[in-house]
Amino acid sequence: MSSTPNASPEVMFQNEEGYPVDEDSLREAVTTVLDMHDALDAGLSIVITTNEAVQELNLQYRDIDAPTDVLSFSAEQLPPELADDEGRYLGDLVIAYPYASQQAVRLKHPVRESFMLLVVHGTLHLLGYDHDTLENRAIMWDAQEKALNTLGIDTRIVPTLEEDHHV
């Protein structure tokens, strides 16, 4: 854990549709993950948007013509002149609010905790984690479980979402 007192990452929100999200809990999810990685100097953006907007991004970047709950876009390729000297910008998390909230209700999970899971999961992706192989999945799920435990979120929420093939 980081030893920097009262340090907190810069988390920017974009929610043009005005969806009812608990920004404080999402910020807490980001902070928990970044603190576990001694990366409280980093920042990221969380975009809460429509299913249609996420479907367009999913098609453009993953060649999947369907909405999903969360997409992560790393800022690794930013030109040096756009990099922040005081910290590092990790990238963007884009969450389809209607899709993610309906998924939580359908799976009988608290919506707030489901969104926190999506942010934990997406932030781990921005830090370089992936679940493309069994070995990588085990490493990522371990980090995800530690973050969820720190946040007081029941980790049984994870396998259900994973079985749903959307995280």
Flag residues of the chain having pLDDT under 70. 1-6, 77-87, 159-167
Known binding positions for Zn(2+): 121, 125, 131
Which residues sit in the known binding site? 121, 125, 131
User: In order of start, what are the domains of the chain with their CATH numbers?
Assistant: 10-163 (3.40.390.30)
AA identity, residue 95: I
Residue in the block written with tokens 């998924």 = 103
Q: What helix, strand, coil percent values describe the chain, rounded to 5? A: 50, 15, 35
Distance CA 55, CA 30 (A): 24
Mean pLDDT in the chain? 87
CB atoms within 10 A of CB 156: 9
Over residues 34-75, the pLDDT tens digits come to 999 999 999 999 999 999 999 999 999 999 999 999 999 998
